[in-house]
Amino acid sequence: MGTAVITGGTSGIGLEFARTLAARGHDICLVARDAQRLEQVADELRTHRVQVEVLVADLSDRAGMAVVEDRLADPARPVEILVNNAGFGVPQRFADGDLDIEQRMLDVLVTAVMRLTRAALPGMVARGTGAVLNISSVAGWITGGTYSAAKAWVTVFSESLSVELAGTGVHVTAVCPGYTHTEFHQRAGMQMGSVSEWMWLNPQDVVDQALRDVRRGKPISVAGPQYKALSLVAQYLPRPLVRSIGSRRAGGQARAPR
């Protein structure tokens, strides 16, 4: 089994990817900002008798991003799977919000995804095997501020690469979860009490579906029957209706799925 690099791998969906892939025999490279938590998760994963490397890096910082790019591009340590999972939520409206925070979010959700994917792909293509899973969101289907816009970019970027890389043995999949039981909303200061229980997903289900779909070469992975149905409906909704739904979301981006 090859090595899997997972950004944001110490909590939520990223942690479930790390646990699942380690249990399947993959060596793991975890990327996150919290050194102490990285070591705690690494110790847990090592119980599967795999090699676990940690990289302390802030993906909103170009120097931190470069550290991960160098690791992905290292021909002496080939990477079989890249999971671009690092998250960033902004509970504010754009017009009167903090622009620097918006920029940091785009650096993590867009720039890092682009640059890390680019660092990993040449080696994967040369070896004729590999997978990139970009964690997007069903929020990309609606109008939910810059978070939705960033996730829409991730989805289209992944779809485009899926077409570009056809026949190379390398698969790229956009993973589009809905509301998922993780720390994401709490850490972003989002109030989620009004979201019905039937809307919530288990992170393990998201990961299992994503790994099945990337093996099948599917460009988009959606877990849960409720979100599979919504994804189908969203393709055919008139855009004025999509905008109307987005305008009713409390606090702009404050209830972003994922």
Q: Which residues are catalytic?
A: 147
Residues making up the chain, counted from first to last: 258
What is the C-alpha separation between 38 and 9, in angstroms, rounded?
8
Angle of helix 203-215 versus helix 12-23 axis, rounded to 10 = 60
Residue 245 CB contacts under 8 Å (≥ 6 apart), including other chains: 142, 143
Tokens matching residue 62: 């170009």
Instruction: Provide the 10 A C-beta neighbour count for residue 197.
Output: 6
Could you tell me the CA-to-CA distances from 211 to 18, 101, 140, 148, 237 in Å, in that order? 12, 32, 21, 24, 29
Q: Where are the beta strands (DSSP E) in 148-253?
A: 170-175, 220-221
